[in-house]
């Protein structure tokens, strides 16, 4: 029986990408179990996977017999149970600032441009072309707010000069933004921080194109 | 450093504001209520004045006793829990249980509510050109989320959402059930959610945080 944590992930799921980054920052070796979100209607909808996660979403982390879902609680759990670089500062106000930025992305932007929501919008409108519009709209709107917030709290990274949970959430969201052709020139602070983060090894190793289930040619 | 009463920018029926109100009442924190009317004049949260305080143009916004602003209900509640340790803590000691509490909060706070948020509803009505889509859309996503939440609670609930102590998860559940009721979701389909909600609504802190008890509740709803 393996004692390594197991991560159910899809290469380009931004929520899975966040957890991959955090695992890498903490130096945690893990087993990667791909869940193809498109094949056969989506493997996340199989009975086996739904049993693991009734929300039928990735990521899921299995650690020491515990099944954990939702990317931010997973990362907070890793923060509390593992040694390694900290992703949350010590003082409550700075912690709140980090969590605020993480939540703007994880609750304020990503859920609205999530695959299941986009599929529903396409179904209701009968228009495939609404997909890029919808994704672009919500990310662009969220980034307008995030840019202003980062102007006041960022330093080298999203919150001051220490790497944090906020940075872990930022890079995957910019990845999504680029997929939906958001004009990143409008968001110079987000762009600057993203470019800096993307050079760091934990972020490089977590990127979608480095994952075992990334299709060839992508 | 001067210490002032914290301030909460809130709308009576914003479920995200309601979550924070519950936490503040559980912790018995005296705070100043500043009403932001989300419907009047297109929405006071879109005015420049409020946008300067919270660029996301959403509620709630918490200003702590040192005048520092914090947005996003879960970030606010974790801050409140870390800063005001009495009378109870809203997260268990055990790391796995803490993850479950946060999981439930996130299932609601990022898995359900953002998709049925007012701004999304307005946009859906606009692109489908169908005003009835507002209620259908909200009901659909709440029901979908509740099917999953019911299963999660089956595994972890005791007297409350997670075991037998009040936690952040309970602060999230009750406002989401309030939303569900507004969109005519049949709660009989979710017996655990219904039972938990009914018990929680009997608790004084939850009563005090209820939309009907807020200073900005319209007279006709009182």
| Pairing mode of beta strands A6-9, A31-34 | parallel
Other C-beta atoms within 10 Å of A171: how many? 22
Q: What is the pTM of this model?
A: 0.97
Residue B192 contacts residue B150 (beta carbons within 8 Å): yes
Interface contacts A/B by beta carbons within 8 Å: 125
Best mutation target among A60, A63, A68, A73 (most B Cβ atoms within 10 Å) is A73
pLDDT digits 0-9 by tens, A90-101: 999 999 999 999
Which residues neighbour B114 within 8 Å (Cβ) at sequence distance 6 or greater? A107, A108, A111, A112, B120
Read off φ and ψ for residue A7, nearest 5 degrees: -115, 120
Question: Which residues pair with residue B10 across a beta bridge?
Answer: B35
Mean pLDDT, chain A, rounded, equals 96
Which is nearest to B71 in space by CA: B1, B19, B142?
B19
Task: Quote the ipTM score.
Answer: 0.97
Chain B residues within an 8 Å CB radius of A68: 96, 99, 103
Element (H, E) at B10: strand B7-10
List of chain A residues whose C-beta atoms are within 8 Å of the C-beta of residue B15: none
**Residue-wise pLDDT tens digits, B110-151:** 999 999 999 999 999 999 999 999 999 999 999 999 999 999
- At residue B1, the pLDDT reads 44
Q: Is the distance from CB of B83 to CB of A92 less than 8 angstroms?
A: yes
Q: Tell me how far CA of residue A153 lies from CA of A75, A187, B61, B83, B153, in angstroms.
A: 21, 15, 16, 21, 37
Residue to test with chain B: of A57, A67, A111, most B Cβ within 10 A: A111
pLDDT of residue B13: 96
Q: Would you state the structure tokens that stand for residue A124, as one six-digit string? A: 């209701």
Strands B7-10 and B32-35: parallel
Report whether B11 contacts B54 (CB < 8 A). Answer: no
* Residue A77: both structure tokens together: 């759990």
Task: Please tell me the predicted confidence (pLDDT) of residue A124.
Answer: 92
Rounded Cα distance between B163 and A216, Å, is: 46
Peptide bond into B214 cis (omega under 30): no
Chain B nearest C-alpha distance from A62 (Å): 11
Whether the bond into B60 is cis, omega within 30 of 0? yes
Question: Cα(A69)–Cα(B9) distance, rounded to whole angstroms?
Answer: 31
CA nearest neighbour of A59 among A132, A101, A120, A110: A110
Count CB neighbours of B141 within 10 A: 23
Q: Does A67 touch chain B (CB under 8 A)?
A: no
Residues 86-125 of A with CB under 8 A from B: 92-93, 95-97, 99-100, 102-104, 106-108, 110-112, 114, 117, 120-121, 124-125
Say whether A182 sits in a helix, a strand or coil: coil
As to burial, measured by CB atoms within 10 angstroms (0-12 exposed, 13-18 middle, 19+ buried), residue B125 is middle
What is the C-alpha R_g of chain A?
A: 17
Q: What is the pLDDT along chain B (222 residues), one digit of tens a residue?
A: 456 899 999 999 999 999 999 999 999 999 999 999 999 999 999 999 999 999 999 999 999 999 999 999 999 999 999 999 999 999 999 999 999 999 999 999 999 999 999 999 999 999 999 999 999 999 999 999 999 999 999 999 999 999 999 999 999 999 999 999 999 999 999 999 999 999 999 999 999 999 999 999 998 876
- Asked whether the beta carbons of B34 and A69 are under 8 A apart, the reply is no
DSSP-assigned letter for residue B157: B
- Given a cut of 70, whether residue A2 has pLDDT beyond it is no
Task: Find chain A residues with C-beta within 8 A of B92's C-beta.
Answer: none
Pairwise CA distance, residues B114 & A106, whole Å? 10
Chain A positions touching B57 (Cβ under 8 A) are: 145
Instruction: Dump pLDDT digits (tens) for A23-40.
Output: 999 999 999 999 999 999
> For the sheet containing A31-34, what is the strand order?
A31-34, A6-9, A60-63, A66-69
| B74, two tokens | 């879960």
């Amino acid at each position: 029986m393996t004692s390594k944590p197991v991560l159910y992930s899809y290469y380009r799921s931004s929520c899975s990408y966040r957890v991959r980054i955090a695992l890498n920052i903490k130096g945690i070796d893990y087993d990667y179990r791909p869940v193809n979100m498109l094949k056969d209607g989506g493997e996340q909808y199989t009975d086996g996977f739904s049993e693991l996660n009734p929300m039928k979403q990735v990521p899921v982390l299995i650690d020491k017999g515990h099944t954990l879902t939702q990317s931010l609680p997973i990362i907070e759990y890793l923060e509390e149970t593992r040694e390694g670089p900290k992703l949350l500062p010590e003082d409550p106000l700075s912690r709140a600032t980090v969590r605020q930025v993480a939540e703007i992305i994880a609750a304020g932007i990503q859920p609205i441009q999530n695959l299941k929501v986009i599929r529903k919008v396409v179904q209701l409108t009968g228009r495939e072309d609404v997909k890029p519009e919808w994704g672009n709209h919500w990310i662009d709107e969220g980034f307008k707010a995030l840019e202003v917030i980062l102007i006041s709290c960022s330093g080298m990274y999203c919150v001051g000069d220490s790497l944090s949970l906020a940075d872990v959430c930022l890079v995957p969201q910019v990845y999504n933004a680029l997929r939906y052709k958001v004009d990143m020139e409008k968001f110079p602070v987000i762009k600057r921080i993203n470019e800096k983060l993307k050079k760091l090894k934990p972020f490089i190793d977590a990127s979608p194109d480095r994952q075992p289930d990334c299709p060839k040619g992508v | 450093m001067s210490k002032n009463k914290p301030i909460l920018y809130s709308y009576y029926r914003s479920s995200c504001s309601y979550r924070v109100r519950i936490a503040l009442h559980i912790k018995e924190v005296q705070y100043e209520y500043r009403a932001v009317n989300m419907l009047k004049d297109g929405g006071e949260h879109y005015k420049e004045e409020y946008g300067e305080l919270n660029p996301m143009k959403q509620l709630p916004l918490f200003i702590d006793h040192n005048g520092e602003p914090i947005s996003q209900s879960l970030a606010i509640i974790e801050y409140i829990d870390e800063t005001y340790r009495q009378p109870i803590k809203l997260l268990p000691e055990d790391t796995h249980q803490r993850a479950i509490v946060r999981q439930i909060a996130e299932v609601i706070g990022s898995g359900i509510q953002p998709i049925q948020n007012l701004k999304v509803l307005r946009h859906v009505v606009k692109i489908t050109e169908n005003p009835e889509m507002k209620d259908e859309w909200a009901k659909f996503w709440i029901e979908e989320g509740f099917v999953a939440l019911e299963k999660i609670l089956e595994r972890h609930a005791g007297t409350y959402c997670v075991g037998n102590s009040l936690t952040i998860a309970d602060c999230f559940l009750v406002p989401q059930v309030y939303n569900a009721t507004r969109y005519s979701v049949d709660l009989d389909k979710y017996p655990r959610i219904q039972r938990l909600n009914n018990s929680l609504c009997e608790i004084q802190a939850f009563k005090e945080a209820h939309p009907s008890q807020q200073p900005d509740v319209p007279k006709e709803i009182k």
